[in-house]
Amino acid sequence: MRVYNFSPGPSALPLPVLEKAAAEMTDACGSGQSVMEMSHRSRDFKAIIEKTEALLRELMDIPPNYRVLFLQGGASLQFAMVPLNLAAVESGPRKRAAYVETGVWAKKAAGEAAKYVDTAIPASSGDRAYSYIPGLPPPDAAAAYYHITLNNTIVGTKWAKLPELPGTVPLVSDISSCILSEPLDVSRFGILYAGAQKNLGPAGTTVVIIREDLIGRAPGRTPVMLRYETHAGEGSMYNTPPCYGIYVIGLVLEWLKNLGGVKAMADRNQEKAELFYRYLDSSGLFRSPVEKPFRSLMNIPFTVSLEDEARRKDLEDRFVKEAAGAGLVNLAGHRLVGGMRASIYNAMPLEGVKALIAFMERFEEAGRNRHV
């Protein structure tokens, strides 16, 4: 029996996708071979990558003046590629880029960029443990770009409204944990990037959506594999791409399209999240640490409402262990913040959220009986 997997990534994949991939393991698309055996230069794989890109463009309504790249290295490699391609200089004064600090990954992105550009932090929510999205001062019109992390996987916040920037300043965003979870106006951004392993496919593939006028700006000393023009010029096949990951992403996109597309998925995600937050807000034992206007649809951290830290930690550890025994796995919070976290990405059915709530109600009742 399959468990309900609440992992933040690598995360659950839709069961129909896994079943189709299994059925095609030794004979993909009638080719008589596995995708893992195909030449990436072959006609068979060319059809796969082209179909995957076309589906992503359709589902995200990507304008024609944007390129779609399938890369490797995870979102973490983009922490370096973005500044190298948009703001690094061969010599002379360094350019400045703005990073809004809303969590661990946003902070890491800014730290990596600081190796190549001057980084400004116009706003941070670190003063309240990243439990909200901060307001922004008037933007710096001279900035090479503004970077935000649209959904913060660890702390469970999301941007409800995009920052308003001068037309000359590109907005760049890490959308790893929210891609395809609800409609997004791609034209508001210069670059979007996402590691696939949270909401799009298996680990090992990174999707980059980049406006064409931002390609070709890297200084000459930039390594060839870290230049966007390298991959854009070769259709993401300058070297061997993550072929199997691209194939599975295509299956996920087919599944999503058959469910009604991104708007239909957003309605499902809203229903799941509202149900879970409603329970947390009414619970006597569990609570959400995130301020209500900024709560994520995808990643929902929660804690036990006890002042005594040792007792709280003991009860949270017991909860995670007993939940796993009940088929509700990967509910431990990130090691940097503790507590618990339910990641309810697109592949998580409403039944999984209901099963989690039912278990939490039983755990809470048992705690009352134990006089916790």
| Catalytic annotation, pick one of 46, 51, 158, 198 | 198
* Torsion angles phi and psi, residue 181, rounded to 5: -85, -25
The burial of 282, by beta-carbon neighbours within 10 Å (0-12 exposed, 13-18 middle, 19 or more buried), is given as exposed
User: How far is 166 from 164, CA to CA, in rounded Å?
Assistant: 7
User: How far is 288 from 281, CA to CA, in rounded Å?
Assistant: 7
> Annotated catalytic, 159?
no
User: How far is 151 from 52, CA to CA, in rounded Å?
Assistant: 24
| Catalytic annotation, pick one of 105, 158, 159, 272 | 105
User: How far is 59 from 256, CA to CA, in rounded Å?
Assistant: 8
Please state the separation of Cα 11 from the chain's center in Å: 11
296, amino acid identity: S
Cβ atoms 59, 262 nearer than 8 A: yes
Cis check for the bond before 10: say yes or no (omega within 30 of 0): yes
Beta-sheet strands, E only, within 313-366? 328-329, 340-343
Cβ atoms 196, 185 nearer than 8 A: no
Length of the chain: 372
Which helix (H) or strand (E) covers residue 273, if one does? helix 261-282
| Catalytic annotation, pick one of 27, 61, 159, 174 | 174
**Other Cβ atoms within 10 Å of 111 Cβ, number:** 13
> Annotated catalytic, 158?
no
Place of tokens 């499902």: 268
147: left (phi over 0), alpha (psi -120 to 50) or beta: beta
The burial of 213, by beta-carbon neighbours within 10 Å (0-12 exposed, 13-18 middle, 19 or more buried), is given as exposed
> Annotated catalytic, 27?
no
Which tokens is 64 given? 């024609």
User: How far is 204 from 189, CA to CA, in rounded Å?
Assistant: 24
Place of tokens 């190796």: 115
Residues annotated as catalytic (active site), given as ranges: 105, 174, 198
